[in-house]
Structure 1
């Protein structure tokens, strides 16, 4: 007895993942790759296992990147519409430079909620990017570029880095 009591029945777990054999393990790459097998995208059930699933996934990821830019632009426009006329607007963030007391509490909560949702959205895109899968990286990049082109304003100050993607 060398401290291993009660562990006799633990054989055959196969690495503790997918022990029932229904799904192979998700591919976990830490270097740029072009894999098309067992690439999990955000969730275990969203897998790339064929050319068809790769094309559909890339289209969905492109759309997610594109829609992120739309959402960011809409939130920025909504925030600008809240500012009283004549208010100076920050060139970096598009957020009105108005003191917290001048903005109603309900509006501040809405702004905070939209901010949180955009951060979660951008982190999700970052996690897709961190699959290190070249196809998915190009889809995130392409969606961001196309969305920025479609929804960027004519204001020079509106060009800034995305939250995470």
Structure 2
């Protein structure tokens, strides 16, 4: 089978593997919807990776501080109990493992979406772009705008 080297507009395509072969307009429509959903969920995964990365520092710092008496902390910093180093390391390792797993999923998802675009089917490429846009709109809606 010859692979096209420019975009084409057809309702027939093989998407990612031989088992996902589209032969008619109905199949293409369902495939486009599935790819839009996958693209949107991929943006959600990117947001989750960032959230876990932020949370790692917050949870570990929160557990290593003694916040029982803020005034006593200022006057007697040497009397605070030392953080449980083993617990802190265990938490950091757990967060790092979660981030690593999510990163692998993110890389796999990115390559799959790239391969969908590389089918050079215009409908499928538009589906990837729409999915990314919809996902960003949904999952990054509460991002603060940076003031210059």
Deviations 1:30-87 (A, max 9, x none): 21111222x11011010110010010000001111011011111221122122138x9
Who is 1:97 aligned against? none
Number of the residue aligned with 2:75: none
Greater CA radius of gyration, 1 or 2? 2
| 1:1-165 → structure 2 map (5 Å cutoff) | 28-37=3-12, 39-84=13-58, 104-152=92-140, 153-156=142-145
- Distance in 2 (CA, whole Å) between partners of 1:57 and 1:80 is 35
Which sits farther off after the overlay, 71-80 or 58-67? 71-80
Q: Give the Cα separation in 2 of the matches to 1:105 and 1:83.
A: 12
Secondary structure, aligned partner of 1:36: coil
Regions of 4+ moved over 6 Å: none
RMSD (Å) for aligned C-alpha atoms: 2.2
Deviation for aligned residue 1:115:
0.7
TM-score, length-normalised on structure 2? 0.71
Higher helix proportion (structure 1 or 2) = 2
> Structure 2: 5+ residue runs without aligned partners?
62-88
Q: Which runs of 5+ in 1 are unaligned?
A: 1-24, 88-100, 158-165
Paired with 1:72 and 1:46, the residues of 2 have a C-alpha distance of 26
Counterpart Cα distance in 1 of 2:22 and 2:44: 26
| 1:103 Cα offset (Å) | 6.7
